[in-house]
Structure 1
Amino acid sequence: MDSPHGAAVTAEDFGLKGPRGWAFRGVDIEAGPGSLVAIEGPSGSGRTCLLLALTGRMRPTEGHAEIGGLRLPRKMAVVRRLGALGQVPGVNELDPAFTVAEHLRERALLQHRFDGSLRALLRPRAERVAAARGRIDAALAAAGLDTATLPKAERTSVRDLERLEALRLSIALALLGGPRLLAVDDTDLKLSDAERAEAWELLRSIADSGTTVLAVCSQAPEGAVTVRTDTSAAPADTQDAPAEDTTTEEGPADAFAETGRA
């Protein structure tokens, strides 16, 4: 898989206020393309809201940010298209009843249908199938998920995956679209020390390949651009934050455009 040029991420006095108070406030970020950005803080400190705001899925209340030179909140719709979400609880979750193969086929089909060129859509079916398989294999390799090691290979249901395997699958699905920005929530949740090290090694490799990575965590790894959410802000989660304003300068936006199955 050819790695895209990552999107630089900057923010100044960035904040989002919900019905229960500030989800986060006063956030400053300066991260170049291909950076690993760790959004560190305890659960309830606005980490997920910040992740969704930086990916154009929640409208900030104050300050501004730029993703790949695109200013938020004015360019929210465009920012959504250049980035991709890994699994975000309550927003972009894996279906536990689906198999690994079903998730991969569904995402590859959607990617082909909505992002493919007209010329690609008119190619013979055998060529399209082969191209999709190639993209899937490349995404799985980049995410470090060897399906041959799963209990039933690609026929393994998501409910039977270990936490780290599910994380790798959600990242592979996100990488199918060749995003410039990858956003991952709860990176280190319920992982052992060894698994946590593997997860960060994976995200570093993705960043090193050129894709900027935003990762929510309880403890940032060494070497990451670390952004700490304001623990003095009122507790908030994705349900507390204001819904995305779907009117942008690009026209009506598809709210939570990537919040279907991962």
Structure 2
Amino acid sequence: MGAEAEERPHGAAVVADGFGLKGPRGWAFREVSFRAGPGALVAIEGPSGSGRTCLLLALTGRMKAKEGTAEIGGLRLPKKMAAVRRISALGHVPGVSELDPAFTVAEHLGERALLQRRFDGSVRTFLRRPSERRASARARIDEAVAAAGLDLAALPKGERTSVRDLERLEALRLSIALALIGRPRLLAVDDTDLKLSDADRAEAWALLRSVADSGTTVLAVCSEAPEGALRITTLDATTAAAPDTDTDTDKAPDTAPGTEARTDGEAEADTEARTEADTATADDTADADTNKASKADKAQVPAKADKAEVPAKADKADSDLTEDTTEEGAADALAETGRA
């Protein structure tokens, strides 16, 4: 009786105080504080991109928080992350603990039981006979499958059904069954109500509530928390940062020292006034230059006329010289031809 009582799952209390995680792109979540007793159903609710999955992974010891503290079953985070991982298990978490679509249901269950015995089993487990170890593994599998509500006989090919042939709710049940094989004190499930109909969503929450009632604390990420669950709401990072941005703008306006902050209407009026002033100045300058050029042209008319006569006489002289040179060259050419 004592050994069986020790093997039964007992939930881990979850306490978060100012819990926050910061990544390369900023804060994933911040200032999360709540308390959940053993065997509680905690629904992490919020829009996509609001840090729901990061909070789930941080509370199970998979991601290291940057501020605040949390305790899982008396184990303090982030100092005891490895110990928290040993008492917690992940159900469906995209990119972290996904099902292999090529594996069958039986292959998934057998692999998880083997890994559980290999890495989490006690020394006494390895001293048992092979038949006893197989019987113990089969008992764990049957227990987890029953707790997850997965009916193997109702599947298209029974245990030989591939994961790719499972419905969304059936795949969720299989993921939870795999997590429950290790009899964790804390179960974490991501995207609980994703792509589920209203009826399937109700069945999924009924399943998680039954797991919590059996003694295992459940953390479930969802878009809308069900009634009766402890609701933890995460905010979108852009929405949370909006008030800070406005406050910073009021405290430190984007103006240089000594300059005057103006509205858009005043700036446009000032621009138009400057444009008109520049246009008027340009017109006055152009008129002044025109008047100066006219006076200069009138004063230089005689000089230009005198200068124009000189090139004309020079051109006439050059023309006469060219004609003379041409006649002399022609005569010389005839003379040379006659000599030849």
Which TM-score band applies after superposition, normalised by the shorter structure?
0.7 to 0.9
Which of 99, 114, 117 is the equivalent residue of 1:109? 114
TM-score by length of 2: 0.68
- Name the structure 1 match of 2:13: 8
Structure 2 partner of 1:245: none
Q: Is 1:220 aligned to residue 225 of structure 2?
A: yes
Report deviation, 1:233. Answer: 5.0
Match of 2:208 in 1: 203
Matched, 1:21 2:48: no
Identity, % of aligned positions: 77
Contact 1:24–1:50 under 8 Å retained in 2: yes
Higher strand fraction: Structure 1 or Structure 2?
1
Q: Which moved more, 1:175-184 or 1:9-18?
A: 9-18
The secondary structure found in structure 1 opposite 2:231 is strand
Q: How far, CA to CA, are the matches of 1:76 and 1:67 in structure 2?
A: 10
Q: Which of 191, 197, 209 pairs up with 1:192? A: 197
The letter of the residue matching 2:217 is T
Which stretch shows the higher mean deviation, 12-21 or 199-208? 12-21
Q: How many Å separate the matches in 2 of 1:36 and 1:233?
A: 28
Is 1:43 the equivalent of 2:48?
yes
TM-score where L is the length of structure 1: 0.87
The number of residue pairs the alignment matches comes to 235
Q: Contact 1:25 / 1:230 at 8 angstroms: preserved in 2? A: no
- CA deviation after TM superposition for structure 1 residue 230, in Å: 1.8
The aligned residue for residue 161 of structure 1 is 166
Across the aligned residues of Structure 1 and Structure 2, the Cα RMSD in angstroms comes to: 1.4
Q: Deviations over 1:88-135 (max 9, x none)?
A: 101111000000000000000000111112221121111111111111
Per-residue deviation, 1:234: 7.8
Any gaps of 5 or more consecutive residues in structure 2? Answer: 241-340
What amino acid is the match of 2:47? P
Any idea what the Cα deviations from partners look like across 1:17-73, whole Å, max 9, x if unmatched?
111111111111110000000000111110000000000000011111111111110
Q: Which residue of 2 aligns with 1:59?
A: 64
What are the ranges of 5 or more consecutive residues in structure 1 without an aligned counterpart? 236-262
Amino acid corresponding to residue 201 of structure 1 in structure 2 = A
For 1:230, the equivalent position in structure 2 comes to: 235
Cα deviation 1:177-225 (Å, max 9, x = unaligned): 0100000000000000000000000000000010000000000001101
Structure 1 or 2: larger helix share?
2
The worse-fitting range, judged by mean Cα deviation, of 58-67 and 118-127 is 118-127
Structure 2 CA distance, aligned partners of 1:116 and 1:228?
Answer: 37
The CA deviation at 1:232 is 3.6
Aligned-residue offset at 1:231: 1.8
CA distance in 1, matches of 2:186, 2:160: 29
* Match of residue 132, structure 2, among 116, 127, 140: 127
Residue number in structure 2 paired with 1:251: none
The separation in 2 between residues aligned to 1:61 and 1:205, in whole angstroms, is 34
User: Which structure exhibits the higher relative contact order, with contacts defined as CA atoms closer than 8 Å and separated by 6 or more residues?
Assistant: 1
1:183 aligns with 2:192: no
- SS of corresponding position for 1:127: helix
CA contact (8 A) 2:28 2:237 kept: no
